[in-house]
Structure 1
């Protein structure tokens, strides 16, 4: 698709922008980054507390629950992990689009290369985070980020497959 080739520099710009945001974010201490004070100030009545209090699971060797962390820290955990997954999903989308013209004939590489790049960038980001005071790198976060990148790449590959399939189908119909 020639349109993707023309937009390639914008996709790479998206990759760079996301990486700059991630680098800045991983440079911040937990105290600088926490949303708990905001939640305490603006989320009144602890919505869904009863339902959330029934949830307990292990993440990165630590039990996550309201009983263990308190309501606001538990809610923040989901916000932070959602941000991890979502940011790397978007990164996977941009990488998949930026690399599409290089791998347009190999569907496996269309997904595999952006996925491995997001995983490598996630590992680097966690390493960088480990250099920041009050923060610890987490292999579990790299796995979560990697899953986000894979999800983004798969979504793009599927959408592009159907867009191209539909385009080819309509081109054949118009030739007849």
Structure 2
């Protein structure tokens, strides 16, 4: 196990596994992925609804608010966008950690990992365009890219302190 971590293969495996999960996920329609039914059971008394009702903003040209889409859709929006950020955080950091032992330069590994995650985010949105009931959004690619970059930078900082080198 230690050898696979040191040579980066375990991290690359995690990255490719995340790509497979993302591909499967983007193959599903919105209705297949919707968690509104589960949320309505888990949060039936709609906690913090009064406080959340004052939140309203635009995302991809559409208003996101409880007034516009309802409490459970509003909560699901944040779960979905958190999943975008989180999965690409894992993808970007996995690629970075997998490439560092092979490339040996943090900056170059970071660029390759970030470009790979960003390219996959764009391809994933294209795949969603081909799937019925899904809407590909440039804003989701930007969110995915931010998640990947955050993961890469965090890993870079931790490795830099651990190895006492930053670049």
Query: CA RMSD for the aligned pairs?
Result: 1.7
Residue number in structure 2 paired with 1:58: 58
More displaced stretch, 94-103 vs 28-37: 94-103
Could you list the runs of 5+ residues in structure 1 that have no partner in the other structure?
Answer: 167-176
Cα distance in structure 1, aligned partners of 2:154 and 2:140: 21
Residue number in structure 2 paired with 1:148: 147
Residue number in structure 2 paired with 1:110: 109
TM-score, normalised via structure 1 length = 0.88
Residue number in structure 2 paired with 1:70: 70
Residue number in structure 2 paired with 1:124: 123
Residue number in structure 2 paired with 1:86: 86
Structure 1 residue 4 displacement after superposition = 7.1
Structure 1 residue 143 displacement after superposition = 0.2
Is the counterpart of residue 13 in structure 1 residue 19 in structure 2? no
Cα distance in structure 1, aligned partners of 2:111 and 2:6: 23
Cα distance in structure 2, aligned partners of 1:134 and 1:82: 20
Structure 1 residue 101 displacement after superposition = 2.1
Cα distance in structure 1, aligned partners of 2:141 and 2:104: 27
Secondary structure at the aligned position of 2:8 is classed as: helix
Cα distance in structure 2, aligned partners of 1:136 and 1:45: 30
1:133-176: per-residue Cα shift (whole Å, max 9, x none)? 1001110000000000000000010000000019xxxxxxxxxx
Change (3 A) 1:15 1:88: same
Residue number in structure 2 paired with 1:135: 134
Contact kept in structure 2, 1:30 and 1:134, CA below 8 Å: yes
TM-score, normalised via structure 2 length = 0.93
Residue number in structure 1 paired with 2:97: 97
How many residue pairs get aligned? The number is: 164
Is the counterpart of residue 158 in structure 1 residue 157 in structure 2? yes
Contact kept in structure 2, 1:110 and 1:153, CA below 8 Å: no
Cα distance in structure 1, aligned partners of 2:92 and 2:27: 22
Cα distance in structure 1, aligned partners of 2:24 and 2:4: 29
For the pair shown, the structure with the greater C-alpha radius of gyration is 1
Structure 1 residue 108 displacement after superposition = 2.6
